[in-house]
Structure 1
Amino acid sequence: MTGLFATRNAEIVITVCGFLAIILATVLTTQMIVKRLRETDSRMNELNAQLIQSDKLAALGKMAAGVAHEINNPLAVILQKTGWMEDLLEEEEFRESENYHEYKESLDKIEDHVERARKVVHNMLGYARKMEPRLEDVDVNSTLKQTIDLLKNHAIINNIEITTELSDDLPIIAGDQSQLQQVFLNLITNAIDAIGSEGLIEVTSREVDSFINVDITDNGPGIPEDKQKKVFDPFFTTKETGRGTGLGLWVSYDIVAKMGGSISIKSEVGKGTTFTVAVPAVTPEKK
């Protein structure tokens, strides 16, 4: 009898262990299936988001073509009228005016800004058509100074100081000057917007391992670490609704990448943000 009970007990134990093993295997399998379903669902959401962004970019391309046409026409008229005013200034009665040089300088500035606006429109069409940037010799420091000069009044109005520490005798780079200026314009404008009012923006340039590095640092609120990975994604913005398109950094990243460079971010909440633009320098051997 003892042997029979022992055998039955062993069978019961084996049966229970078998059931437990089946239950455990079922639980583990279910967990794996749930995990894979979540991963698949997450991937599907990412793909859907990418499709939505692609649709938005396609719409943006069509809009850019229309906007470019609407802007180019008045720019052409402004340029034509500026030329007419310059011709008038060359007449004797105007040349003798005590304000002649001021008028002449103002007209020159109008022409410069019209030309810059035309380049911006040209670049808008380029993004729609995925146009490659033209390669020309670009002085990074000169481009930075021009950009800061454009934003000087905007910074002053917001009680923001922009300081520069630009390394002397930097080598030139091969790129598109107007597009590089747009990159700096986007980054410095973002820094001004991040600060809001009463702050400091530091702009530095230096050569590092055959690259020209430009740091644009603000003492704004900083960007949380989880959002730093997304700042170069299209349509992602940390600004309030209606204040940003989420395209500036994405476009800037694309421009610099096509020049063989990169943009990186370093930020700490409560202390500020630094964007570093690194573009390859042109050495005498490369020219």
Structure 2
Amino acid sequence: MTTHAGDKIRLLLVDDEEGFRAAIARRLAKRGMAPAQASSGEECLTLLDTSPMDVVVLDVRMPGMNGIDTLKAIKTNHKDIQVILLTGNAAVSDGIEGIKSGAFDYLTKPVEIDHLFNKIKQAFGMIQLEEEKRQQLAYREKLEKKMVDTDRLAALGTLSTGIAHEINNPLAIINEAAGVIKQILEAPDMAQLPRQGDLLMALDKIETSIKRAGKITQQLLGHVKKQGPRLATTDMRLLILETLALLKGGIKKKQINILWKTEEKEHMLITDPYQIRQVLVNLITNAIHALDTNGTISLSIHETPAYMILGIEDDGVGISSDNLGKIFDPFFTTKSFDQGTGLGLFVVNKIITGLNGEIEVESHPGQGTVFMIKLPLNSGGMAQ
């Protein structure tokens, strides 16, 4: 429940006796309250659907829907509202039943106005107390989550160091072996070797992939040892095409349609191409996983005077509203243990914010997901 201006109590009086109701309203108005009025339980519930209230003063004995039934309906549909029951001297049992049904208190008629006034303030104080408890609980949960994330990131730092070491060692061996093979193939006595050019081209691809894998391990260590971006003038459309080529196996397997929503031209941006490639690989891979056969991935590039906006959209399974706010959290994943680590989108968000950019996501279950990445056209002035 949100706090309203000035903490003024929003009060509703419900009684079928118009004269009594109006008299109570006038006397409360002299004490600074401005109560709304309803003449029946049905009118009360209708009014509550359109006009939020804090406290309802409710007569028990009314024709049609009586006060107890009205109270139960209020507690079902508006659980934060506090209800004070008014009952006749001969119907104290109704007040007791009301307390059992969730009423804040009950008063007997004829009611003493100052007593009613104080009881309304007490009921509102209970609302404020409950709101404070909720805020404290939310803050504690947020703090506990942050502590858990910090512990996870500390563990991830240790894990990352080990992973990078384990990956870099075989990469170095592969790189050295590729270099030896290349020297042999380029020797004069190998000039007549059949398909020598194809073999050398394959070795070039191996060396390029080794460098790319090395960059990935550096990014993996980025949260342990902060590294500034390596800026270069980059054609974003070409970078996306290169990423699609890397992922062509998954695209072809599912017969995915690639739809470009931008004109064929250069879209130049000063940024870190290695980090942006990692972002694109993660987002397009996620889109592939979200699609069935013959699904569509739509790609767009839009430029403003200061920014370039990249769009990656799929018409796949979508993300539930419950999960949408968690997708950038470390280790959060809806995939099975062997299919996802929950780090992909966490790394994506870290990279984009590190480049002074922004990332937004919109998704609807069964309709698909769109990621929008906003990057400054010239990141040269960013803080290192």
Q: Name the TM-score, length of structure 2 as normaliser.
A: 0.65
Asked whether 1:161 is paired with 2:257, we answer yes
Q: 182-191 or 120-129: which moved more?
A: 120-129
Secondary structure (helix, strand or coil) at the match of 2:222 reads helix
Secondary structure (helix, strand or coil) at the match of 2:296 reads strand
The answer (yes or no) to whether the contact 1:167–1:206 under 8 Å persists in 2 is no
Higher RCO, 1 vs 2 (CA within 8 Å, ≥6 residues apart):
1
Q: Which residue of 1 aligns with 2:370?
A: 274
2:147 partner amino acid: L
Q: Which residue of 2 aligns with 1:3?
A: none
1:149 partner amino acid: A
Q: Which residue of 2 aligns with 1:145?
A: 241
The superposition leaves residues 179-204 of structure 1 with CA deviations (integer Å, 9 ceiling, x where unpaired) of 11000011101101111544111222
Asked whether 1:25 is paired with 2:114, we answer no
Asked whether 1:113 is paired with 2:209, we answer yes
Q: Which residue of 2 aligns with 1:188?
A: 284
Secondary structure (helix, strand or coil) at the match of 2:150 reads helix
Q: Cα–Cα, structure 1 residues 32 and 131, in superposed 2: closer, same or farther, change >3 Å? A: same
Secondary structure (helix, strand or coil) at the match of 2:130 reads helix
The answer (yes or no) to whether the contact 2:308–2:376 under 8 Å persists in 1 is yes
Distance 1:214 1:13 in 2: 68
Q: 143-152 or 25-34: which moved more?
A: 25-34
5+ residue gaps in structure 2?
Answer: 1-107, 380-384
Q: Cα–Cα, structure 1 residues 13 and 271, in superposed 2: closer, same or farther, change >3 Å? A: closer
Distance 1:171 1:15 in 2: 76
Distance 1:85 1:56 in 2: 42
Asked whether 1:233 is paired with 2:329, we answer yes
Q: Which residue of 2 aligns with 1:45?
A: 141
Shift of 1:32: 1.8
Q: Cα–Cα, structure 1 residues 162 and 171, in superposed 2: closer, same or farther, change >3 Å? A: closer
Distance 2:225 2:252 in 1: 37
Larger fraction in helix: 1
Percent identity over paired residues: 33
5+ residue gaps in structure 1?
Answer: 1-11
The superposition leaves residues 102-150 of structure 1 with CA deviations (integer Å, 9 ceiling, x where unpaired) of 2111111110100100010111112222322222222212211111111
Q: Cα–Cα, structure 1 residues 241 and 22, in superposed 2: closer, same or farther, change >3 Å? A: farther
Secondary structure (helix, strand or coil) at the match of 1:209 reads coil
Secondary structure (helix, strand or coil) at the match of 1:170 reads coil
Q: Cα–Cα, structure 1 residues 89 and 166, in superposed 2: closer, same or farther, change >3 Å? A: farther
Distance 1:282 1:61 in 2: 31
Distance 2:217 2:158 in 1: 13
Distance 1:261 1:34 in 2: 39
Residue 166 of structure 2, aligned match among 22, 45, 70: 70
Q: 14-23 or 257-266: which moved more?
A: 14-23
Q: Cα–Cα, structure 1 residues 73 and 269, in superposed 2: closer, same or farther, change >3 Å? A: same
The answer (yes or no) to whether the contact 1:135–1:175 under 8 Å persists in 2 is yes
Q: Which residue of 1 aligns with 2:181?
A: 85
Q: Cα–Cα, structure 1 residues 271 and 123, in superposed 2: closer, same or farther, change >3 Å? A: same
The superposition leaves residues 69-122 of structure 1 with CA deviations (integer Å, 9 ceiling, x where unpaired) of 111111111000000000111134533122212211111111010010001011
Q: Cα–Cα, structure 1 residues 209 and 239, in superposed 2: closer, same or farther, change >3 Å? A: farther
Q: Name the TM-score, length of structure 1 as normaliser.
A: 0.85
